[in-house]
C-alpha cells in the first residue's frame, strides 16, 4: 500500500515536468497509459522509447527496474510487458523525437564518466583519497538538507577535511557549473540508485527545477564544506 502510494506521489510530481516532453514518442496501443504512468518516475520516457528489444529482453529490463524500486502488480507487469514487446520490438518504427525530447534524454551514466577517474566505476572511491559514493549517497540524502547539499557539491565543489565511514579525506572535489541542470539531476539520480544505493523512502528523483534553485548562490567549496557540517553526518 505504502510503496504504491509513494510511486503515485512520484508520478504526480514528475508528470508535471515531463508532460508533453516524451508522450508523443510512444506509439498508441493497449498499456501505453500505464507505461507513461510507471516508467517516467525515475527517468525520462526517452529511456524507453529509444529501445527496440524482444520480449525476453524487455522482461529482464522490467525486472531490473523493479530492482531499482519500480512497483507493479502482476497484472500491471503483464500489461506493460505486452505493450513493450509489441510496440517496441526490434525493427518497430516510432515517431522521431522532437529536439526538446532529444535534449531531455540525458543519461546519468554518461555524465558519471566525468567522475569515474576519482570515485571509480564501482562508486567505491579510493580510501583516504576519494570518498566512496556507493553506500554513502543514501546517508547524505537521508540527512535534513542533504538533497540540496548534494546539488551544491556539484555546482560549487567541496574542499577541506571530511570523514566518510571512518576514513579521513582532505581533498578537492571539482565544481561542475558547466553541466546543465538536466545533466546534474541525471548524474545525481544515477549515483543515488547505483551500486545498491536507493533513494530514501519518500524521496523522488532529482529534477532540473531543484538544480536550478541552487544556482546563483555563488558558494565557495569551503562554504559547501561548512554546510556539510550542518548535515549531522557521522
Ligand atoms: C524506481 C526507478 C525507476 C523506474 C520506476 C523505472 N526505471 Fe528504468 N532505470 C532506472 C535506473 C536507475 C536506470 C539506470 C539509469 C542510468 O544508468 O543512468 C534505468 C534505466 C533504464 C533503461 C536503460 C537501460 C539500462 O539498463 O540502463 C531502460 C530501457 C529503462 N530504464 C526502462 C524502464 C521501463 C520500461 C520502466 C517502466 C516499466 C522503467 N524503466 C521504470 C530506474 C527506474
Ligand atoms: C578529481 C577527482 C574528483 C572528481 C573527478 C569527482 N570528485 Fe567527487 N569528490 C572528490 C573528493 C576529493 C571529494 C572529497 C572532498 C574533500 O575531501 O573535502 C569528493 C566528494 C564528493 C561528494 C561528497 C561526499 C561527502 O561525503 O562529502 C560527492 C557526492 C561527489 N564527490 C560526487 C561526485 C560526482 C557525481 C562527480 C562527477 C560529476 C565527482 N564527484 C567527480 C574528488 C572528485
Domain count, the chain: 2
> Is the same domain home to 121 and 23?
no
> Ligand 1: distance of its center to the CA of 90 in Å?
19
* CA proximity to 99, closest of 175, 63, 46: 46
Q: Residues in the chain, how many?
A: 234
> Is the same domain home to 126 and 222?
yes
In whole angstroms, give the CA distance from residue 194 to residue 134. 7
Chain segment 101-145, per-residue pLDDT in tens: 444 567 899 999 999 999 999 999 999 999 999 999 999 999 999
Question: Which residues in the chain show pLDDT less than 50?
Answer: 1, 12-24, 99-103
Chain segment 166-189, per-residue pLDDT in tens: 999 999 999 999 999 999 999 999
In the block, which residue shows the cell 579525506? 169
Say if 21 falls within a structural domain.
Answer: yes
Residues 6+ apart with CB under 8 A from 18: 40, 44, 45, 104
> Ligand 1: distance of its center to the CA of 14 in Å?
15
Provide the domain limits for residue 68.
Answer: 2-96
Q: How far is CA 178 from CA 24, 36, 151, 154, 175, in A?
A: 30, 31, 13, 10, 9
> Does residue 119's CB lie within 6 angstroms of at least one atom of ligand 1?
no
Alpha carbon 104 to chain centroid, angstroms: 13
> Is the same domain home to 160 and 47?
no
> Is the same domain home to 33 and 68?
yes
Task: Name the residue at shortest CA distance from atom 26 of ligand 2.
Answer: 164
User: Which CATH number covers residue 124?
Assistant: 1.10.760.10
| Domain termination site, one of 39, 67, 96 | 96
Task: Name the residue at shortest CA distance from atom 9 of ligand 2.
Answer: 173
> Is the same domain home to 114 and 50?
no
> Is the same domain home to 146 and 190?
yes
Name the E strands within the chain.
158-164, 167-173
Say if 18 falls within a structural domain.
Answer: yes
Amino acid at each position: 500500500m505504502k510503496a504504491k502510494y509513494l510511486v503515485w506521489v512520484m508520478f504526480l510530481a514528475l508528470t508535471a515536468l515531463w508532460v508533453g516532453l516524451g508522450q508523443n514518442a510512444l506509439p498508441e496501443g493497449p498499456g501505453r497509459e500505464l507505461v507513461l504512468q510507471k516508467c517516467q518516475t525515475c527517468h525520462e520516457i526517452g529511456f524507453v522509447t529509444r529501445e527496440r528489444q524482444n520480449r525476453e529482453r524487455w522482461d529482464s529490463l522490467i525486472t531490473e527496474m523493479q530492482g531499482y524500486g519500480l512497483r507493479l502488480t502482476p497484472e500491471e507487469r503483464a500489461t506493460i510487458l505486452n505493450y513493450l514487446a509489441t510496440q517496441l520490438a526490434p525493427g518497430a518504427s516510432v515517431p522521431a523525437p522532437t529536439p526538446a525530447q532529444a535534449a531531455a534524454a540525458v543519461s546519468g551514466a554518461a555524465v558519471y564518466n566525468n567522475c569515474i577517474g576519482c570515485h571509480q566505476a564501482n562508486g567505491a572511491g579510493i580510501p583516504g583519497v576519494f570518498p566512496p559514493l556507493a553506500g554513502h549517497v543514501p546517508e547524505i540524502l537521508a540527512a535534513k538538507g542533504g538533497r540540496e547539499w548534494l546539488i551544491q557539491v556539484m555546482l560549487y565543489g567541496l574542499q577541506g577535511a571530511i570523514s566518510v565511514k571512518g576514513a579521513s579525506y582532505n581533498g578537492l572535489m571539482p565544481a561542475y557549473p558547466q553541466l546543465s541542470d538536466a545533466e546534474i539531476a541525471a548524474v545525481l539520480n544515477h549515483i543515488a540508485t547505483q551500486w545498491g544505493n536507493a533513494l530514501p523512502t519518500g524521496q523522488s528523483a532529482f529534477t532540473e527545477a531543484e538544480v536550478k534553485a541552487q544556482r546563483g548562490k555563488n558558494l565557495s567549496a569551503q562554504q559547501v564544506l561548512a554546510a556539510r557540517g550542518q548535515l549531522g553526518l557521522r
